[in-house]
């Protein structure tokens, strides 16, 4: 049998920076998991990791930095 996972819609952001910092703190303290955080956004952890790996490979191929998108010197 497959165990269903019910994901409720996320609420509206009032202060996105505070929300992100709160999530980061919860992750650091072990109070939540990446799967739970992504699940609240309707995303799957494995799919996100696969996509991030593809993007990282493309950035390396074209000698780009993921944070600035500038070429490596």
Q: What is the pLDDT of residue 12?
A: 67
Q: What is the pLDDT of residue 55?
A: 95
Phi-psi region of 28 (alpha: psi -120 to 50; beta: other; left: phi over 0): alpha
Identify the bridge partners of residue 71 per DSSP, sorted by sequence position. Answer: 64
Number of helices and strands in the chain (H, E): 3, 0
Average pLDDT of the segment spanning 11-32: 91
pLDDT at 34 > cutoff 90: yes
Which residues make Cβ contacts (< 8 Å) with residue 37, sequence separation at least 6? 23, 26, 27
Reported as a pLDDT band with limits 50, 70 and 90, residue 67 is: confident
Rounded Cα distance, 54 and 51, in Å:
5
Reported as a pLDDT band with limits 50, 70 and 90, residue 73 is: very low
């Amino acid at each position: 049998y497959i165990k269903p996972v019910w994901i409720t819609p996320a609420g509206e952001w009032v202060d996105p920076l505070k929300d992100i910092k709160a999530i980061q703190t919860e992750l650091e303290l072990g109070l939540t998991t990446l799967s739970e955080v992504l699940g609240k956004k309707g995303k799957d952890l494995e799919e996100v990791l696969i996509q991030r790996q593809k993007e990282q490979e493309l950035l390396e191929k074209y000698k780009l930095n993921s944070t600035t998108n500038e070429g490596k010197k």
